[in-house]
A and B are shown apart, each in its own frame.
Chain A
């Protein structure tokens, strides 16, 4: 299995507070890797280190390396725009732009100078299992969609610009069970083309969608392995306690 993303002795601080402690992790290509752990364990920060979204936070300090396709994305001469184009992201709360459904997807395409915008918009919507539901309302505001539809639109927006990696930050936390099921089905479909990393504090979800699983606790990566191994035979006591529901 080829490694797509590799953390090497990676630590991160917000001001004085250390959020990530010496992370070493290899995320395989074209698989779903779930990062789980209790609230505040640093899993979202770990995810946002992959597309350097943590750079937006003042006073952030990093140490160590993160490689994507064997290129250190924390080196001086990295092109951040190209990096982020290569990595799509879906956030915890659906955040479509306050524009039409069409324009939500076309915007990124136009900025990145793609051609045949209309076809690409429709293809992205089909790939995100959303097209049939909204094909008559393509030019209506995205803010009128339901939460689940908005979240799939955000995914369509991300995949339209042809990324290689998709980061999902608790994408179902604001969704009802049916919308969640639809989203998980979509994740399952997309993994043959993309390397997917999903953060979740819901271990059933991690079990359902992921091939590999990382468990984090208080900024440390406690355990990483195949999902079935982690769930059936956790090696670490803390992982076992989490799976038994001992932390929130």
Chain B
């Protein structure tokens, strides 16, 4: 009996340790290779000498700016749609179709969103290659996921609270806004941060919609092009003519990107710990 249970312990534990080892290995490898150029100055200065020297400030700035805009465009529609699905949608063919479409959208490769962004935002709406077009594309990529997490978050709040409010003659929207949403807040926020932990590393959706290879000066206007960390890494790793010279910078940039993803992930995790258990 003891032998059998320890067999299952190892069966389950070994893949976990292999996975952990891989993650630690990647992080250590990045730190070891990126460390020589990773200085305070690296984070806050422009690339110099055809990117072989200097820092990655425009890429960091662009990624953060992009994420903020994507956040603005994604959160409100997702929240409203999630509330609609959780509390207003009738159980009929239309709802079923919408749900199926949203589920399929969240499984679509991100390059497809990139092409859509190029066709629709850049060309049809004539926004041009810009941060605006890119952030709109990114927001569309994250909306299906955010709708699903919003709906699940709202439905995890016990229905008895909602019933109690309705029985008091409280209007439905007030009950949702004052009772359900505050309770679901940690889950919703955690979902949002997880979505952005993924979003900040996406290349495909911004590739055709506005990301730039190199900019002399950053612009605050969302109608201008921008640099972004993941694309910068891609260029340094594969497209640069002096590929060996820029390699430490590529590693250090990856480290910064990893840090951002980790940062969002940790916030999501902390919020998740604050989710209440009712029963």
Contact = CB atoms under 8 A, between A and B. Distances in A.
Contacts of A96: 164
Task: Pick from B161, B164, B183 the residue with the most CB of A within 10 Å.
Answer: B164
Given A58-B90, A95-B163, A97-B161, A108 B168 contact: yes
Interface string A82-96: 111111110101011
Interface stretch (A23-31, A153-161, A194-202, A215-223): A153-161
Interface string B141-180: 0000000000000000010110111111111001000110
B169 A82 contact: yes
A178 interface: no
Given A93-B160, A98-B276, A53 B179 contact: no
A91 B169 contact: no
B91 interface: yes
Contacts of A85: 168-169
B90 A95 contact: no
Interface in A62-92: 80-89, 91
B164 A97 contact: yes
B276 A84 contact: no
B164 A154 contact: yes
Contacts of B167: 51, 53, 84, 87-89, 91, 158
B163 A97 contact: no
A158 B167 CA distance: 9
B161 A95 contact: yes
A81 B166 CA distance: 8
Interface in B168-215: 168-171, 174, 178-179, 183
A161 B169 contact: yes
A91 B163 CA distance: 9
Given A83-B169, A84-B168, A91-B163, A111 B174 contact: yes
Contacts of A112: 169
Contacts of B160: 91, 93, 95
Contacts of A84: 166-169
A56 interface: yes
Nearest to A109: B168
Task: Pick from A87, A88, A93, A107 the residue with the most CB of B within 10 Å.
Answer: A107
A49 to B, nearest CB: 13
Contacts of B178: 107
Contacts of B171: 81, 111
Nearest to A94: B160
Nearest to A79: B169
Contacts of B166: 53, 56, 84
A93 B158 CA distance: 12
A59 B92 CA distance: 11
A101 to B, nearest CB: 14
A35 B166 CA distance: 23
B91 A58 contact: yes
Interface string A14-54: 00000000000000000000000000000000000001010
Interface in A189-213: none
Contacts of A154: 164
A112 B90 CA distance: 28
A81 B178 CA distance: 17
Task: Pick from B163, B170, B178 the residue with the most CB of A within 10 Å.
Answer: B170
Contacts of B91: 58-59
B163 A81 contact: no
Task: Pick from B90, B158, B167, B178 the residue with the most CB of A within 10 Å.
Answer: B167
Interface string A158-202: 100100000000000000000000000000000000000000000
Nearest to A85: B169
A73 to B, nearest CB: 13
A111 B161 contact: no
Nearest to A89: B167
Nearest to A82: B169
B169 A97 contact: no
Contacts of B169: 80-86, 108, 111-112, 161
B168 A157 contact: yes
Task: Pick from B161, B166, B169, B179 the residue with the most CB of A within 10 Å.
Answer: B169
B125 to A, nearest CB: 39
A95 B278 CA distance: 11
Contacts of B183: 98
Given A81-B169, A83-B169, A84-B169, A95 B276 contact: no
B161 A161 contact: no
A161 B276 CA distance: 29
12 contacts: A80-B169, A81-B171, A88-B168, A89-B167, A91-B167, A95-B163, A96-B164, A97-B161, A97-B165, A98-B183, A158-B168, A161-B168
Interface of B: 90-91, 158, 160-161, 163-171, 174, 178-179, 183, 276, 278
The 3 A-B residue pairs with the shortest CB-CB distance, nearest first, are A85-B169, A84-B169, A95-B160
